[in-house]
Amino acid sequence: MNDSKKIGFWTCTALVVGNCIGMGIFLLPASLAPYGFNATIGWVITVIGCIALARVFARLAREMPNADGPYGYVRSTLGELPAYIALWCYWVSLWITNAALATGVVAYITAVFPEMGNLQPSLLALGLLWTFVAINLFGVRSGGGVQIVTTALKLLPMLAITLLGVWMLVYSPQSYVAHLPTRPVTLHDAMAASTIALFAMLGIESATVPASRVENPGRTIPRATIVGTLLTAAIYLIVSTVPMLLLPEQELANAPAPFALLMDRFVGEGMGRWLALFVVVSGLGALNGWTLLVGELTRTMSDNGVLPAFLSRNNRRGAPAFALVMTALLASGMILMNYSKSLVNGFTVLSQVVTAANLPLYLCCSIALAVLWKRGKRLDDKGVRGLLLIAVLGTAYSIFAFIGMGHEAFQMALILAAAGLPLYLFMRVLRARLNRS
């Protein structure tokens, strides 16, 4: 591919931050409120675990710069079947995420612009979904440019919450002890809160997915992955703690828009509506980022012969047109089936499915790094000794997340994996026949 059509460090970092900061963080303070200080402990566990996973992806990108993203990492170390299962589950999670994002953005658009409530919500959601498909059809740099702009804009409400927290700490410090959570700290609650928080951190691997479209991937992807993950983690820790300490637990738990409630309460009535506008921008940015990634991942899987060959065809701008259109059709079907659900209920159901679908990829990539360590290709490099520690931490956190989510999440992951096996077997037979002919 022409270098002028490739993406660099800032776009890759924007993919990580923009895809992590979608709409989940704007709902999580309410979801985590019943857990009290267990939520803070859960966030710390999640941040540490995700930094370990970010290190896994960063080292894989450094050690295998010519691999075509996560599929290449797992396939070259664990084999074709584990790579397919992990990427199949991840692939399904991407277009389900797009459906959830489009539906959630519509709910906030109608809150900001009530006059749009007269429009059919499903049609509006479909319109948003296909708008970003159209943008990404102009190429990865087009979608990447939109990602940088929307990521910058979505950080503004996070900055507003942070400044509010600092202002209250300086001028009204007693506010932070007026509504202290009363729920006792337990391991079970901390684990449960940690796995809920993980949903908001999904996307740390975003810079690795379009690896073949990245300038100098061996250097760019590791830097963008680490910087993006640390920036997201710092933002989340701050903006999750402020509402937990400033709002009564029960009121926060019942708030459909926790950040808007916080702004209305401590800044001024009506300020929450302006913040909701940036929630829309945040959701649109995430929708753009995940649209870009699902197109690239579909193309990668097609190039490797596990999805039909026509899905890898690029248009004249280098965009995987058939892949973008097909995944948008699948997401459209999800929208039409689920658009009547409320924002909170929709995310409550879909977050578990999406999180469970991501964990096989995280686990397989962590194990892949351990395989690289065992092969010891660069024994003269002191850095090779660090591969095992990073691999163990990533594997341990992936298993911890599975345990924390409970048996239902594990069953969801198994069902998703099993659903893809017939297609895998069909494509394998088809490739064998083509090779014989």
Quickly state the pLDDT bin for 167 (edges 50, 70, 90). very high
Average pLDDT of the chain to the nearest whole number: 82
Distance CA 45, CA 193 (A): 9
Residue type, 338: N
Span 426-435, average pLDDT:
83
Q: What is the DSSP letter of 346?
A: H
User: What is the reported pLDDT for 31?
Assistant: 78
The yes-or-no verdict on residue 82 having pLDDT over 90 is yes
Residue type, 190: A
More confidently predicted of 257 and 80:
80
User: What is the reported pLDDT for 350?
Assistant: 63
Both tokens of residue 144? 């990447």
Distance CA 99, CA 241 (A): 29
Distance CA 392, CA 329 (A): 39
Q: How far is CA 157 from CA 21, 271, 420, in A?
A: 11, 11, 39
Quickly state the pLDDT bin for 256 (edges 50, 70, 90). low
What's the whole-model pTM score? 0.81
User: What is the reported pLDDT for 363?
Assistant: 95
Instruction: State pLDDT tens for residues 354-408.
Output: 888 889 999 999 999 999 888 875 544 555 667 888 999 999 999 998 888 777 7
Q: How far is CA 74 from CA 6, 210, 348, 352, 403, in A?
A: 24, 15, 30, 24, 23
Residue 76 neighbours by CB distance under 10 Å: 18
**Angle, alpha carbons 231-32-247 (nearest 5°):** 95
Q: What is the DSSP letter of 364?
A: H
Distance CA 146, CA 397 (A): 33
Quickly state the pLDDT bin for 142 (edges 50, 70, 90). low
More confidently predicted of 103 and 163:
163
User: What is the reported pLDDT for 111?
Assistant: 67
Span 114-140, average pLDDT:
82
Instruction: State pLDDT tens for residues 9-52.
Output: 888 888 888 778 877 777 778 778 888 889 889 999 998 999 99
The answer to whether the beta carbons of residues 340 and 138 sit under 8 Å apart is: no
The answer to whether the beta carbons of residues 254 and 30 sit under 8 Å apart is: yes
The answer to whether the beta carbons of residues 294 and 327 sit under 8 Å apart is: yes
Distance CA 407, CA 405 (A): 7
Span 147-155, average pLDDT:
76
Residue type, 318: G
Quickly state the pLDDT bin for 5 (edges 50, 70, 90). low
Residue with tokens 């820790």: 237
Quickly state the pLDDT bin for 206 (edges 50, 70, 90). confident
Instruction: State pLDDT tens for residues 273-327.
Output: 777 787 788 888 888 888 988 988 898 889 888 888 899 888 888 888 999 999 9
- Buried/exposed code over 21-39 (b: 16+ C-beta within 10 A; e: otherwise): bbbbbbbbbbbbbbbbbbb
Distance CA 329, CA 323 (A): 10
The answer to whether the beta carbons of residues 16 and 232 sit under 8 Å apart is: yes
Distance CA 200, CA 77 (A): 29
User: What is the reported pLDDT for 182?
Assistant: 79
Distance CA 40, CA 61 (A): 31
Closest to 313 measured CA to CA, from 322, 325, 326: 322
User: What is the reported pLDDT for 349?
Assistant: 59
With pLDDT > 90 as the criterion, what percentage of the chain qualifies?
17
Residue with tokens 């059709």: 329
More confidently predicted of 276 and 162:
162
Distance CA 215, CA 316 (A): 20
Please tell me which of 257-261, 286-290, 377-381, 433-437 the model is most confident about, judged by mean pLDDT: 286-290
User: What is the reported pLDDT for 380?
Assistant: 45
More confidently predicted of 255 and 144:
255
User: What is the reported pLDDT for 343?
Assistant: 47
For residue 381, the Cα-to-chain-centroid distance in whole angstroms is 33
Both tokens of residue 63? 């050690």
